[in-house]
Each structure stands twice: as structure tokens, then as C-alpha cells.
Amino acid sequence: MPDTLTIIDNRTGKRYELPIEHGTIRASELRAIKTDSDDFGLMTYDPALMNTAACKSRITYIDGDKGILRYRGYPIEQLAEASSFIETAYLILHGELPSASQLAGFTQTIEAQRMPPPGLEQLFRGFPNEPYAMGVLAASFASLSTFYPESRRIFEDWNRTLQMHRVLGHAPTLAAYAYRHRRHQPTVPPSPSLGYVPNFLAMLFAEPGKPYTPHPVLSRALDILFVLHADHEQNCSTFAMRAVGSSHADLFTVMAGAVSALSGPLHGGANEAVLRMLAEIGHVNHVPEFIKRVKAGEGRLMGFGHRVYKSYDPRAKIIKRTADEVFEVTGKNPLLEIAMELERIALQDDYFVKRRLYPNVDFYSGLIYQAMGFPTDMFPVLFAIPRVAGWLAQWEESLLDPDTKITRPRQVYIGSDQRDYVPMAKRS
């Protein structure tokens, strides 16, 4: 069977043969299909890139129909069970699981990069009262480009690696700064004796100068959530990372773009929106009425549906288990009952079944975060910190890919034809 596609252009009767590679044709090959020499050539119209592979990648594999997610070939279920976020970050960045000494070296390197430059804290004092945490995170990443001007030399290997380690090391500290400034609390410096996740919890919740030991079950639960969120191939924020990065901007500016993309309620802001939705529903008895309104098009069931998963999101399954372990320590989140009833009804309702809408990663994660004492505006930040690993790997892969060019899609122009300027006095 030849790996080609034959196209007959009915406008001209001409026949074209296009090669098929990895189940794709090169969109640029369509440009040869023209009605005459003035014709620009055929393009595809794909507004949300729903059927366009914008890159080749070796990092994450998803089969949305079967509910499969793998990082570098390893199933998410195995990584959530046995790995840690820091080991998973190594895997995502380097492509292979580390040896014991590689993991120790990587951990040490990231720990050495926990402290952002001292001047950065000034920035936090300039925000208004109660600033939106994702806005603060985006701004602090963008401002780091001014502290590390050498980060513009993105094709210097050692320099790029250093900046990537800085991003991974600084991310939890920046998030903790945002959290504590919002509460008018003094910041807590990173603790050399604590690992990535326990140190993050300490920077958020410890009293300055006092020892803090996070509950091991809660710390492990957050570590698992970090593993689950570490990468998810070409989602909106990762695409932002690749697209902004394709202009060869420095890493910190590119990071600000990805954080901004993640902040929207259709993406990383969804876990926050789920909690607001559950609180609004208020009682399990109100669930049928809420579902009715969703089906009538008066809003969405937040935390349900996914562009890629058309079956149960494998991460949501793991999160549900983790939630049980967390609630044993913290007590049950009263909104859990409403969430479970929503899921029960939605999974047997024709509207959701037909559209293949299942709980996604955000449906239960917010409940865990709330039970652990995080305020809702921190939820997308808790998504952003681990996603840093994926963003970095995807950014570097894109930069080093000889196929990469500056992202510059085409458009179908449907505006006015040329017309003459009308002076103000002559306009009706």
C-alpha cells in the first residue's frame, strides 16, 4: 500500500500525489494546488488547530479514546505510584529515568536554584491588595528576564540548561512569595533540609523561624498531583510556550506567556471554576436542576470534557484515589458529595454520554487543594508549578528541532475589499 494521498482538484481536473508520513500530510504541500499562477494555493482552515500536528515530539503520548497518558513511554499510573515529581521532571527533561547518582545530582542542582534574586521581592510590594496569584506568577517570571539578561542567549547549551534549572528551582518560591504577600505575611526562605514538595509546603505554611514538618500523606498527595500535571503534550499553554519561544525570546519571557495561557478558566483555571461551581450548587439536592441548566446551554459543567480525552481522563482516576487518602487526614470536603452526585448523574445522562464528556484532571483536584488549606486562587498556580517541567522540555525540544520556524499561521481574510479613506467632514 503506497503511503501517499491522491487529490483531484475538481476546479481544474488536476491530480496531485502527496506523501503521507506518520499519518500526516505536510500542509505546505497543498500550496501546489492552484487554479492558476496568481492563485496563492490551497490552505487548510483549522482555527483551534484541532486536526493539525504543529510539531513532532518525543515527550508525551496521549491516546484520548483509550484514556492513555505516558511520559517518555512510561504510563502515568506507574509514575504516580512509584515516582516523585523531581524524578519525573528529570525523566521529562532528559528522556530517561535517572540513576541514583543522576537523581541526587539533579535534586542538588535544583535545590541550589531555589532562591530568586533578592531584588525580585520588591516587585511583590508594588501589586495592589489581593492580586490574582496567576497574574503575579506571570509577572514575576517576566521580570526574571531583567535579572538574568544572559538568558537571551538561548542557543548556548550550558546557559540554556542553567536558566531551565533556575525556572524549576524558582517556581515554587515565586508561588510561595505570591501566596504570602497576598496575606501580608513575611516570606519563608527555602529550607535546605526539605525536598521539593515539602519545602514548597513549608514556604507557604510555616511560621518564619519555626520548624515545620508537613504531614507525610499530604506531602505525598501533592507530589502525586505534581507528577500528574507535569506534562500533557500540545495543550494551550504548551503551545504558547512553543509559539512564543519560536520568536527566540528569552526563557523567562516565554514562561510568562505559558503561565498566562494556563490561567484561563478553560485550561488551568478550571479547577478554581469547579470549586466555585460546587459552592454555587450548594447542596446535593440542587444537582439535577444544575444539570438541567447545563444541558439548556446556560453554562458548562466545569471539570468535565476535554479536547483530547473522549473517555475517563486517566489522571482523574488517580486523583480520586488520592482524594480519599487526603480526606482521611483532613476530614471530608463537604463539596465532595455534590461532586460525586454530579459525576454520577452526568455519566448516565445522554447529553454527556453522547458528547463523550467525562471528568477531567480538574474535577477533583480542587477539592484536594481546598482540603489541604489552599485558597482557590492558588489552584492554577499549583497546576503551573509542575507543568514547568513539561514546558521546559517542550520549549527545548522545539528550539533544537531543525523543522522549527517562527510560528506564523495564515488567515482567511473575510473583511472589506479596498476602499478609499473618507475625510471626517464627509462621513455621515
Q: Which positions are catalytic?
A: 267, 306, 362
Name the packing angle between helices 379-400 and 251-262 (round to 10°).
130
Cβ of 258: how many Cβ atoms within 10 Å?
A: 31
Is the CB of residue 227 less than 8 Å from the CB of residue 386? yes
Question: Nearest-CA neighbor of 134 among 270, 312, 277?
Answer: 270
Kindly state the number of chain residues that form the binding site for ligand ACO, as judged by CB under 6 A: 17
The answer to whether residue 300 forms part of the interface with ligand ACO (CB under 6 A) is yes
Cβ of 403: how many Cβ atoms within 10 Å?
A: 7
- Cβ closest to ligand ACO, residue 302 vs residue 368: 302
CB of 357 to ligand ACO, least distance (A): 5
Among residues 70, 220, 267, 332, which is the contact residue for ligand ACO, using CB under 6 A?
267
**Side-chain half-sphere CA neighbours of 39 within 13 A:** 13
Name the packing angle between helices 85-94 and 216-229 (round to 10°).
20
CB of 362 to ligand ACO, least distance (A): 5
- Give the separation between CA 270 and CA 302, rounded to whole angstroms: 6
The answer to whether residue 306 forms part of the interface with ligand ACO (CB under 6 A) is yes
Binding mask 353-382 for ligand ACO (x = CB under 6 A): --x-x--xxx--------------------
- Alpha helical stretches, state H, 230-301: 236-245, 251-262, 270-281, 287-295
* Segment near ligand ACO (CB under 6 A); pick from 22-30, 192-200, 299-307, 417-425: 299-307
CB of 64 to ligand ACO, least distance (A): 10
Residue nearest to ligand ACO (CB): 305
The answer to whether residue 304 forms part of the interface with ligand ACO (CB under 6 A) is yes
The answer to whether residue 317 forms part of the interface with ligand ACO (CB under 6 A) is no
CA 410 to chain centre: 25
The answer to whether residue 123 forms part of the interface with ligand ACO (CB under 6 A) is no
- Give the separation between CA 126 and CA 178, rounded to whole angstroms: 12
Torsion over CA: 394, 274, 291, 47 (sign): negative
Among residues 62, 202, 259, 302, which is the contact residue for ligand ACO, using CB under 6 A?
302
- Interface with ligand ACO in residues 337-356 (CB under 6 A): 355
Among residues 248, 276, 292, 307, which is the contact residue for ligand ACO, using CB under 6 A?
307
Binding site for ligand ACO (CB under 6 A): 266-267, 270, 294, 300-307, 355, 357, 360-362
